[in-house]
Amino acid sequence: MKFFFVINGKKVKQYMVVVFAAFFAASLAFVGQQQLSVFSSKDGPRAIYKGEDQGNKVSLTFDISWGDKRVTPILDILKEKGVKNCTFFLSAAWAERHPDIVERIVKDGHEVASLGYQYKSYTEWEDKQIKRDILLAQEKIKKVSGKMTSLLRPPNGNFDERVLNISEDLNHTVVHWSIDTKDWKNPGVNKIVTSATDGTKAGDIILLHASDSVKQTHKALPQIIDKLKGDGFKLVSVSEMIANTEASSKEVN
């Protein structure tokens, strides 16, 4: 049986083991003096969902897989608010179709990362298909942006131990999120703002979208930025968030 680890950034002084019974069992352990929160295969690669929990840094991340109507207003607002260093996870097939937008993302000072090429769930694919998609995405994004990707958010956020291992072999760190605004559901501007800012803590990686399916994100964004800044947070890229951090593990199934 194979397990995953979640690495908790909080300082804990003892090990705790909790056994869950469903169709299989998993155990839980806490190890102290950590700064980074990640999912990890046993003794293997990690998937980050939260940065260091000390200081004042948070990351705004935007997923884009289709359309060109919503991303420009989002970029306009970020520029108006003086916000750089957001991380845009791009479907490479989308990036190929919109090189001008990708160029602007980079020019405006944001980080580009990968959503893969085809935007189909990796957990349903064979190893060779996953490898091909990651490498093709890296090639295509570099072609239109001039940037070599090293961060990967698997399509739909789905990954398993296999995906973690393949990503590491291809020099990509898998990045999840700690706050999901669910803005793609268009739940209302106030709801998106609250989801992104209520209870936000240092190290949080906030998931937003910039595909055409989101009709309220650009309206919520000014309030999100103002609230985060008002609460003393510094908006940084995921790469800056995770740089020079240490981690150990908490095991889950």
Q: Are 209 and 64 in contact (CB under 8 A)?
A: yes
170: alpha, beta or left? (left if phi > 0; alpha if psi -120 to 50): alpha
By annotation, the residues acting in catalysis are 63, 209
Report H helices in 33-125.
71-80, 92-97, 99-107
| CA-to-CA separations, 173 to 77, 242, 246, in angstroms, rounded | 29, 10, 15
DSSP at 233:
-
* pLDDT of the chain, 253 residues: tens digit per residue: 443 444 443 333 333 322 232 332 232 222 223 345 555 555 667 889 999 887 899 999 999 999 999 999 999 999 999 999 999 999 999 999 999 999 999 999 999 999 999 988 999 999 999 999 999 999 999 999 999 999 999 998 899 999 999 999 999 999 999 999 999 999 999 999 999 999 999 999 999 999 999 999 999 999 999 999 999 999 999 999 988 654 433 332 3
All structural domains of the chain, each given as residue ranges with its CATH number in brackets, are: 57-242 (3.20.20.370)
Tell me the pTM.
0.82
